[in-house]
Amino acid sequence: MRIAGATVLLTGVTGGIGRALAQKLSARGARLVVTGRHAATLDPLAAQLGARPVVADLADPGQVAALAERCGDVDILLANAALPASGDLLDYTPAQIERALTVNLSSPILLARLLAPRMVGAGSGHLAFVGSLSGKAATPYSSLYTATKFGLRGFSHSLRQDLHGTGVGVSLIQPGFVREAGMFAATGADVPSGVGTVSPGQVADAVLRAIEENRCEVNVAPARLRLRCAVAGQFPGYAERSAGRGPNPAVDRIVEAQRASR
């Protein structure tokens, strides 16, 4: 799929990965539509990028449907928005669980459903989903987040098969630990030792490559972490024993930040 000249709807633009994506898409000549919850944050960023802002709360299915209606001419959907949703499931209220499921899983599915028919009719388009390596391997204190990413992975792969031959591609991009972005950057917690990190720019480059080459799945992480996730996906019992159950200061700091933000 050619990015230059294409109209791209990018969700989650205000985060670290989202900003990197927006800058690289704009530099490639995309006609950019960006969305976020708060106009005060979204509008200045859109002005810097020369993008069209559309305010929408992806936790509200009605607003998601309205977003799709206002952006019905897009050639590429880039579903990047997500809530961290880390920590003990028992600490979440039913409303918080519903919000995480809606933002991380239901909203990209709904946007794909509403935007894909025009792409299929035109015989051209692309649906790209930014997931996580948590969609391949479970880790402690992330059951809700992991559930959404496992779901997104299954959805994207199946939808890709459904749309085969229509001219509409589907890609899933799965970063590992991202420095300068996300909960580790927000809380100052240390990334677990020995796994390595990638930058928002590296993730953005992988997303653009996936769209242009119609790649099925691109995993963005150092080789050691990709291997660990592959092994954990095939042997979950072994991964569980390897993870251990001792205290993890980095995870504890992220969980506390999550609680404070709810």
Q: Nearest 5°: phi and psi at 127?
A: -120, 115
Residue 245: left if φ>0, alpha if ψ -120 to 50, beta else—which one? alpha
Cα–Cα distance measured from residue 115 to residue 107, given in angstroms and rounded to the nearest whole number: 12
156: its two tokens: 């994207």
Summarize the chain as % helix, strand, coil (round to 5): 55, 15, 30
DSSP state of 137: S
SS3 160: helix
Tokens read off for 187: 């809380």
The active-site residue, picked from 92, 141, 145, 238, is: 145
DSSP tag of 246: S
DSSP state at residue 215? -
Supply φ then ψ for residue 109, to 5 degrees: -65, -45
238 catalytic per annotation: no
Active-site amino acid positions: 145
